[in-house]
Amino acid sequence: SDLGPRMACTALKEFASARLNIHFVSNVDGTDINDVLSNLNPETTLIIISSKTFTTMETLLNADKALAWLEKNLEIQNIRSSNHVIGVTANSKNAKLFGIDETRVVEFDDWVGGRYSIWSSIGLSLAISIGFDNFQIMLSGAREIDNHFRESPFDQNIPVIMAVLGIWYNNFLGAQSHAIIPYCERLTLFPSYLQQLDMESNGKSVDQNGEQLKYQTAPIIWGQTGTNGQHAFFQLLHQGTKFIPIDFIAPITQNQSDDKSQKILLNNMLAQSMSLMVGKKAKEGENHKSYPGNKPSSTLLINSLSPKTLGALIAIYEHKVFVQGTIWGINSFDQWGVELGKELSIALNKGNISNIDPSTDQLKDIISKFSSY
């Protein structure tokens, strides 16, 4: 997944080389790759094709388009084996069959899952952006949390405490979702990153013995940065009928923000967590102005957003997800739920699908009337 490196590059923009522009393309929607290519100089472009198997349809389609663009503009034959291309994969054989020179293939182990891959060579784009020294510092921040998780007693263990709180909210208090609200614009992609980490890891209904579960597992993870979220959905959090626990995340200081703005930002966060907790009674006959309170939230504060603290933050949530998966008795490291959609997509693309349902058949007919589908 590109979510890890993309999120981290956005978060650590302050540490990025000013000489480099990093772009990510993952969507098979052609506008994604076309928009990026339209802003690039082919002579100074390096394409990193990251794919665990080097068989992912979306990745290879975008790679073909990018390479055709390079070949056309540079008039270089065998562009795939040129120094404009690097492959990152757990299947070097397929990368070489794709045409990438074996000296330009960077491998990682095949047991590394996409949502946990930022620490591996999948993080190459991030390492290029912020420098390998800073990448190592990010790893060290994660390693400190690994050691904390391994060695700390449960009542002082941050990932364990977060995990059992989540279990309590989900399985005993009926929470169907969990909001992630970073009060830091650099962490704008962090809710999406945690959405994949949590929901793809623990969005399961069968345990490790193949038995159907009789209890809830992963909640819906969603969120947005504050203060923008306050003007979008905090109305529901304060006065709605849904029970939604919240994680607030904030750096205490930010080098790219002035003191006044940072003070107002943090006070907004404190005001939200306080009002969610204590609420406010309204005057008689003005129930619409009542804040019930008693709505749970956790606040994670970091000194500043840096490679080390970002690494620690990611690791905290990884271990939280692992603990919850262990308690629920599920395998947090597979994702069979996405396979059927892939199979049907391939079959539809080949026109090789039988027993198509009436609804899908009608949708295909409608699409074909307006396109060359």
> Which domain CATH number covers 36?
3.40.50.10490
Does 167 reside within a domain?
A: yes
Q: Mean pLDDT, to the nearest integer, of 108-137?
A: 97
Tally of domains in the chain: 3
Residue 192 is assigned to a structural domain of this protein: yes
Structure tokens at 192: 């999406």
Q: In the annotation, is 342 catalytic?
A: yes
Tell me which of 72, 93, 289, 342 is the catalytic residue: 342
Domain that holds residue 31: 3-130
Region label for 317, one of left (φ > 0), alpha (ψ between -120 and 50) or beta (otherwise): alpha
Q: Which two tokens stand for residue 65?
A: 């388009």
- Beta strands 47-50 and 85-89, pairing class: parallel
Q: Which of 274, 324, 268, 266 is nearest to 295 (CA)?
A: 274
Looking at residue 249, the DSSP 8-state letter turns out to be E
Please give the sequence-ordered ranges of beta strands (E in DSSP) within 240-287, or none if there are none: 246-253
- Residue 173 belongs to some domain of the structure: yes
Q: Does 260 lie in the same domain as 160?
A: yes
Question: Rounded to 5 degrees, what are φ and ψ at 303?
Answer: -55, -50
Among the three residues 80, 112, 130, which one is the final residue of a domain in this structure?
130
Q: What is the CA radius of gyration of the chain?
A: 23
Buried b (16+ CB within 10 A) or exposed e, 179-194: bbbbbbbbbebbbbbb
My answer on whether 64 and 193 are in the same domain is no
The partner residues of 85 in beta bridges, in order of sequence, read 47
State the catalytic residue, choosing from 72, 93, 231, 263.
231
**Shared-domain flag, residues 91 and 214:** no
Q: Which of 130, 148, 177 is the last residue of a domain?
A: 130
Domain assignment present for residue 143? The answer is no
Residue 373 pLDDT class (50, 70, 90 cuts): low
Burial class (CB in 10 A: 0-12, 13-18, 19+), 18: exposed
Q: How far apart are CA 203 and CA 177, in angstroms?
A: 12
Confidence label for 355 from pLDDT (cuts 50, 70 and 90): confident
Residue 300 forms part of a structural domain? yes
Q: Are both 47 and 162 inside the same structural domain?
A: no
Residue 84 annotated in active site:
no
Q: Which of 113, 130, 147 is the last residue of a domain?
A: 130
Instruction: Please state, in angstroms and rounded to a whole number, the distance separating the CA atoms of residues 351 and 339.
Output: 18
Burial class (CB within 10 angstroms; exposed 0-12, middle 13-18, buried 19+) of 144: middle
Both 234 and 348 in one domain: the answer is no
Residue 193 in domain: yes
The whole-angstrom separation of Cα 103 and Cα 92 is 10
Residues 185 and 101 in one domain: no
Same-domain check for residues 348 and 324: no
267 and 181 both lie in a single domain: yes
Does residue 255 form part of some domain? yes
Contact yes or no for 329/207 (Cβ under 8 A):
yes
Query: Counting beta carbons within 10 angstroms of the beta carbon of residue 237, is it exposed (0 to 12), middle (13 to 18) or buried (19 or more)?
Result: buried
Does one domain contain both 114 and 162?
A: no
Comparing CA positions, the residue from 205, 196, 256 lying closest to residue 11 is: 256
State the chain's mean pLDDT as an integer: 96
* Rounded average pLDDT over 206-218: 97
pLDDT reading at 372 higher than 80 = no
**Who contacts 354 (Cβ-Cβ below 8 Å, separation ≥6)?**
none
| Residue 83 and residue 32 in one domain | yes
Q: Respond yes or no: is residue 364 known to be catalytic.
A: no
In a domain? residue 293: yes
**pLDDT per residue over 3-45, tens digit each?**
999 999 999 999 999 999 999 999 999 999 999 999 999 999 9
pLDDT at 122 over 90: yes
* Residue pair 53/89 in contact by the 8 Å Cβ criterion: yes
Q: Which of 52, 200, 295, 318 is catalytic?
A: 200
pLDDT, tens digit, for every residue of 244-296? 999 999 999 988 889 999 999 999 999 999 999 999 999 999 999 999 999 99
The pLDDT of residue 239 is above 70 = yes
